[in-house]
Amino acid sequence: MLVLIANLGSTSFKYRLFDMADGDGRVLAQGGYERVTDHGEVIEDALKELESSGAVSSRSEIDAVGFKTVLGRNLSGCVEADDRVLEALEGFADVAPAHNPPYAAGIRQFSRILPDAKLVALFETAFYQWVPEEGARYAVPEAWHEAGIRRYGFHGASHKFIAERSAELLGREDVAACARGLYQDGPQPIDKPLRVISCHLGGSSSVTGIRNGVAVGTSMGFSPQSGLPQNNRVGDLDSGAIPYAAKVLGLEMPEIERQLTKEAGLLGVSGVSNDLRDIHDAATAGNARAQLSIDMLIHEVRRWASSFLFQLGGIDGFVFTAGIGENGPLLREKVCAGLEEFGIKIDPERNAACAAKECEISTADSRVKVFVIPANEELVLANEVFRKISSNNSTQTQ
């Protein structure tokens, strides 16, 4: 089975073609476009490139297209990308304006260009479907809740992969199997609990608590705006700050929203950049605001991780993933500093030597295993598309 993963941004399009026949998701081709003004045009160009390069002899060989959709109103999970998905994306277009409209347009275009291919959407919120209601609900009026205002969570593909891979590394194939089949079979009973905290730290960041392969809660909420300080998004903010800023600074709501999504976060605090590498260089040169932004990120990672430590009732594995998590030994050291009484001990040499590769960075006598696991969200999506289609075919055969 050939599965094409389509990653659509407001002005970008990236793709990977996977051969799922051997079960390990072999990449046959990949590419991308920036400064996109017409997604239909670049999708057509990408398919022509796949044909001319020999990755496929004909575009009709592509069996399925997978979409890493972000947020849908009244819909989540791994589902066929049909009219329900389009309606759900458009229902929350204002909440995720950089992602939902491009994905809705992309699904329509692929439906037209590849009419025989199966189209599957994996929502980023899917991994959090089983978070208990008390962990997902906001204390808002009932009408707000019924309108869809709740804690959804994001980076679901990344954290689900961590749930699978960390269980394998910890020798718990029962939990790994539960995590792999989660979207088809739901949570499964596990006799001995496995408790993992996953830190996805990158351009946008989130921390998720995972028990037996299933999320119990996450730092992000109604939109990707919340939780930890993001690269240029504010993260958590008291709702009372918005009317106060409007009054004192004389700002209208569109400008407030623009500043909180474009000029806040690490960029807003550091005044230097939204890239942690640039911020680190500035901090090393003595820039106090740059250092403060790093310290704030570390503080928030520790705050959210500690909340899940209580929620899980302990911890067996602690994982860093995504760009900053995979390439930031100093940040990993600071996040784990002083946690020996909780069973977390970092080996300085292992930590310093680990960059953009899978490795264990805890000491031999650390009760909690600490890992760096590179993110591979495209492979996660390809696997889920394959499972979804295989499950559907099996059901139809029965």
- 325 is known to lie in a ligand binding site: yes
Rg (the chain; Cα; Å): 21
For residue 129, give the amino acid letter: Q
Question: Where are the alpha helices (H) located in the chain, listed in sequence order?
Answer: 39-52, 83-91, 100-113, 133-136, 142-146, 156-169, 173-180, 182-185, 241-249, 253-262, 265-270, 276-284, 288-312, 322-327, 329-335, 348-353, 377-397
d(CA 227, CA 235): 5
**Residue at token pair 């006598």:** 365
- 324 is known to lie in a ligand binding site: yes
- 14 is known to lie in a ligand binding site: yes
- 376 is known to lie in a ligand binding site: no
State which H helix or E strand residue 64 sits in.
strand 64-67
The vertex-84 CA angle with 162 and 118, nearest 5°, equals: 65
d(CA 182, CA 189): 12
- Of 82, 75, 164, 201, nearest in space to 380 by CA: 164
| Residues 162 and 379: beta-carbon distance below 8 Å | no
- 231 is known to lie in a ligand binding site: no
Sign (positive or negative) of CA dihedral 15, 20, 22, 25: positive
- 377 is known to lie in a ligand binding site: yes
- 326 is known to lie in a ligand binding site: yes
- 68 is known to lie in a ligand binding site: no
- 323 is known to lie in a ligand binding site: yes
For 139-150, give the DSSP string.
S--HHHHHTT-S
Residues whose CB falls within 8 Å of the CB of residue 389, separated by 6 or more in sequence, listed in order: 1, 63, 64, 118, 120
> Which two tokens mark 316?
């067996």
Report the length, in residues, of the chain: 398
- 186 is known to lie in a ligand binding site: no
Region of 29 on the Ramachandran plot (φ > 0 left; ψ -120 to 50 alpha; else beta): beta
- 162 is known to lie in a ligand binding site: no
Binding residue numbers: 7, 14, 275-277, 323-327, 377
Binding residue numbers for ATP: 14, 275-277, 323-327
Binding residue numbers for Mg(2+): 7, 377
